[in-house]
Structure 1
Amino acid sequence: MPNTDERGDARHPLAGDLAAIVESSQDAIFRKSLEGLIESWNSGAEAMYGYRPEEIIGRPVSKLAPPERKDEISDILERIARGERVEHFSTKRVTKDGRIIDVSLSISPVRDDTGRVVGAATIARDITQQRLAERELHIARQQLAIITRAGADGITIQDATGRMVYANDSAARMSGYPDAASFLAAPIEEVLQRFELLHEDGRPFSAEELPGRRVLRGEEQAEAMIRVLVRRTGEENWTLVRAAPMHDEDGTVHHVVNVFHYITEQKRAEHQLRFQNALLEAQSEASEVGIVVISPAGEIVSANRRFGELWKIPQEVLNTKVNQAAMEVVKGQVVDADSFVERSRYLWDHIDVEARDEIALKDGRVIERYTRTLKDETGATYGRIEYFRDVTEDRKREEGQRFLAQATKELVSSLDYQATLSRIAQMAVPELADWCAVDILEPDGSLELLAIAHVDPSKVEWAREFRRRFPIDMSALTGLPRVIRTGDAELYPSIEPGALETSLDEEQLEVVRDLQLSSVMLLPLRARGRTLGVISFVFAESGRSYGEADRLLAEDLASRAALALDNARLYRERDEIARTLQEGLLPGPFPEVPGVELAARYQAAGEGIDVGGDFYDAFDTEDGSWALVVGDVCGKGPKAAALMGAARHTIRAAALREQRPSAVLTMLNSALQQQSRDQWFCTVCYVRLRPQPGGARLTVCTGGHPLPAILRADGSVEFAGKPGTLLGVFRDIALTDATVELGSGDALILFTDGLTDAERTDKEFGQKWLADVLSQNVGRSAEEIAERLEQEVLGDRTQGLPDDLAILVAKVMP
């Protein structure tokens, strides 16, 4: 090769064809001396590095290396000087504009005519794009490995013969193998033998129907939903299998990729959703609540059977799905159609309003409506849902409870039993009867008509005259004589015209026909096992008839009236009177509460001469909950009894309308202020108990009353709720509802202050004392807890208690 000082132009001239080849090469070809100076530079080098020949020839070759790579230059020159070649050396170089590029260098020694190494010839190729492609391929391979190995979906690859050549670990686990290697090693027959494959409808799924095999037979893509039964365990799974081909350049399928997507949970969720929808539909159809869903466009989206029944809407009208058509039917039934339409329009104009109201119907029924917007979890509005419930009987019971409360107040307000029973007869008309009469058994065995009332007062004297003209035959087999003899009530829901012809003469029959009797109840006035008289309720001109609810109300009233009568007759024995009346005001046997045991104790203060002021109650509120009540009214004797009865029955009546204890006590507070002539007040603890699996949920509210205690199954004791305002004194009161959960074995203890304030020899009292006593009664029954608390108060007393005592225990049975 010629010496550098023999160059004729900027690029050292090369002879003949060799020069043309070097110059036309796309690779960078240049020569450098052993000192590292560049001696020649082709067009490929200019294109790669950016330097023109006149800019780079004679300059050090280290100019082309990044700072961290400059040591490579000296190492390479030393190897060249020793006569070594450098083949395909990958490194980095820097261009004129400062870019770092990946290059592959092949460097050979240049020798003179004597064979001495005088320089080096370098061929450099830009491999930057190749390196980028290699890195991207490496990343892609890593990602593919992560996806296929760690992904939830199973992936297998079959070759053109159907043989499995690849599987990820997910596919292995889905097939019951610990890893991909053991899965691939297993014969396909062994794999398939582990499972029974079925179509969605239960038909057998053959191996030939597998998507992979279908693709190998020519389908471009294939998928199948497969029910997989594991033969060994009987477990059922669902898998969605998709298969796609891999083609050669000529379009021939050389492999098939299968993806197995495990959808068992999805299928179970779909099944559960279908079940829940079917259950909801069944519940809706079986419900005694009418339910209708109306879209914003006024279309009836859904209406259950009861909705049509309550409103007597023909099925053909409901089938139109037009709400306005149904409204026309409803309007004709309500008492105040204009108000009903106006209210309904308001609710539609204010779609977000939640409301509850009652609608009076012309046929005497009362329908309660509860309505709210129907939205999904995103807040999207689908329309309005309305619930309709026939509350006619509920309202009758409430009226009955209010009647009983007022009647009780009358019964215990005076010892003049004649005046009291006369007022009771008058109160019963017209709510409970067209006629009401009270007959008292005299010592000689005859009956005295003590009181009589009629919707038409002018007929009262006529009725008395009829009794004088036709005295009662006490030997008669039916009617008042039989009730007196047996103590059993007689109920005649309807009276047929000819039913009395065999027992009455013609004159009596003519009078009875004039009475227009339609239904009769004869209830004994029984107290302390003796029948004191009979109270008669008669429907006549109104044409109404008595039912079971009327009988229960009348029996309750008769029982209270009998107690008042007995109380008045035994006035000289006031202690006995007080006990009898007290028993009548306290509840009877406790209701059956699922999973909860109830027990109570009651002790009146003093020697039992006066009626105590403490009371308790437990009753079914008919909404799946039970009410537990303990209260303390002001004073003692008849006044306390009247207040206690009014409070107890007002609570019962309010509980049928309101669920929140605070609302019930608010109604009681209003009733006390309205009814009281003197300053009546009381304290009450009201608990709404809702049984639930493994326990019960309590909503506690107190009005001036001690907070109830909770004895946990682990022995800890806490006091539930927040103190509230005394009832009956203030118009505006502060009451708070507190929610408490009872678990298995937990007990709730309601009590009056006669428990915590009682004097004891150890001088201890209050919540701390009660907590200590209760903690010693873990595991005991409700009855045993109540007994223990009562004994703690009574002790060895020889005299009566200084204050009344009421205890009510509710324990969740373990």
Structure 2
Amino acid sequence: MTEQARSKEGELHWPAVRNDTDNSHLVREADTDAVSQRNTIANSSISNPSNPQTSRLSESERTGLLKTIWELSPDILAVKNTRGVYQMINPAFCEWFAVSEGDVVGKTDADLFPGNDGELFLRSDLEAIRLGEPMFCEETRRTAKGLRHYRVSRVPYCKPEGGVLGLLFCLRDITELKQTIARAEQAVESVKKHEQTLQQLIDSMPAGVMLLDSELRLLAWNKTYLTYFDPSLKWCVGARIQDVMPLAEESGIVQKLYRALKTGRPVRVREFKYEGLRKGTTYWRGVAVPLELSLETGSTAALAVMVVDVTREVMAREKYAQTAELARQREREIRELYEHEHSIAIQLQKSLLSHDLPDLRGFEITRRYQAASEGALVGGDFYDIFRISARKVGVVIGDVAGRGLNAAIYTAMTKHMLRAYALENSLPSLVLARLNDALISCTPVEVFVTLIYGVLDAEDGTFTYSNAGHELPVYYSARLSRACSLDLTGRALALLPGYNYSTHVVSFEPEDVLVLYTDGISDAGRGTNRLGREQIVSIVDSIGCHSGNDIANAIMQAALNFAGGHLADDAALLVIRALPRR
């Protein structure tokens, strides 16, 4: 180990870090010297025929070498003339921009890139050519892979006698380098209070670092290590690991370190306990990495040992173990409370569904209700059918926003207020206008209701309805043998006070069918693959004037198929069919 690698006190010395002009690179002085030496050797090997180690490369060998570098370089490379016109590009350029060489050669950046980008690139090229000096910059761009950082180099190449011939362009992705630098800067910032330690830490781990020889004797360490363990122990070059870590033998650490030396592979040192004078009982975890040191006397095996304080983690784990039963008990209580509320909401919702349908001469009404899959919160889907007069019944299907007990409560409010208003005056537009204002006054702002209310008249065979933002009904005409959707007549309830709804009338002929449903059916499915209104129209169109049961069963089965057998939301369905004349 050189004197530069170890201070007089035996502490690790990391070469000073310096920033370039844009503060974006960390460069070690030792690395810079090494690069300089390699460049000197490489240059002399190629260009100096007197070098005893190698002979001069022939022109063809140089050409082949340059061609190989050009074709295999992962960097994006291009050669341009003095007007910024592309003369040649490498395969990495073609792959990155998904172009062929013929698409690019003969053009400038202004021709290839839209908007201001191309003009800016071209101006930068021409500026580098004008100055005759290399230009370097960094750019950040958002790509399909996220935010990426690039190093852009523009290097003019000249005639031997002077004068610029053209420009070599290089684009390198330095995102990973930037990320590494950012992590290193964060690590340095986190340990500012240890001023002298800043020059000793090599990466972001707040770890104690110790260097041991093949006999587990100390070669070097950082000051962070002294903050971990007692400085009163014999911390000196040549001291045994057992002298500075009294429990190393008992806890099996020594055996693991020897194993790392023998196998040449890193060894993890699992949690071990340390009784110190400074911090009392602490817990540690570490790793020993074998390496080879080049000393003046030759190479020798060594170990880099890094340890981190995991006392908080161990204490937290023990505390969790002590309180685990309390957490499980709390979980059981919450589950029981949820199940109780869920049960109440289900019972309340069931009570909202009409069970005894009023008979209406000339019509059959088929109903279906499918609750969401087990474990899902109860929704606000409901239907209601009630008698208004001897020849008229009210038909309602709706969906209250929200889930759980609150949704069930607002559903009950909606159902019973609508019935009350309908029994006073059954005109749908008037009923929905009054219901809208009532819901606004007695529900929170986040609650709204989509709903269809209509009056089915058995005497004249009409269905007079208003649709407040609900799923569009599907009507099948037996005479035309065709199904279609009916219109919306207004916005959802409880959104805008004083809103007026219009009324539409459907005239039934024998075997005509009207299908009303909630979004639990039309939205059944996963992702973008949903049942949808068009599929419902298609189902009704294909079945036609068959019984209401056939239509209802087919629609419910289609919804289940799209949902994979388990509906994510409650689903309600009503099928009104005019019976054939006898």
TM-score normalized by structure 1? Answer: 0.29
Larger radius of gyration: 1
- Tell which has more relative contact order, 1 or 2 (C-alpha 8 A, sep 6+): 2
